[in-house]
Amino acid sequence: MRWFVEQRQRFIDAHLRERGFINRRDLQTTFGISQAQASVDLRRFKKAHPRRLRYNVRMKRYELGRRGREQGEAEKANTRSADFYCEMIIARWYARGQEWPDMLPREGLDELERAIKEVLVEEGLAAPQPSERDHKEGT
């Protein structure tokens, strides 16, 4: 399996464990792929894990099947792993149209730091930093 496909499959797995559901839009937004490619990725995941994924027609999303819920409960799925956050950060990086280099130059580190902060704030693990405008208004 190609590296990009594997990353999207891992993201689907992590997203299901963390949230209990996923839809095409999650893949499209995170990886900047087409709706058709997101559908292919979800079908590929369902084929590899048929008892773990089921489609909820009413909610128009894929959800953990009974087998997936049992696994999630056993793994305490409500605790996020470092792998989950790494996947989110890497996905943000690629969504910005940047390639993952072997070595990061200083300006690449700044961009990576911004991506990490976005994920941490979005997940409620860090407080948003005041913008420069907020800082100027407060003085």
Q: So where are the chain's domains?
A: 3-138
Query: Could you report the per-residue pLDDT of 67-85, keeping only the tens digit for each?
Result: 555 454 444 444 556 667 6
SS3 (DSSP) at 98: coil
User: CA-CA distance, 54 to 127, in Å (whole number)?
Assistant: 35
Mean pLDDT of the chain: 75
Burial of 13 (0-12, 13-18, 19+ CB in 10 A): buried
The pLDDT of 7-31, averaged and rounded, is 90
Q: What is the pTM of this model?
A: 0.52
Q: Check residue 76 and give its pLDDT.
A: 44
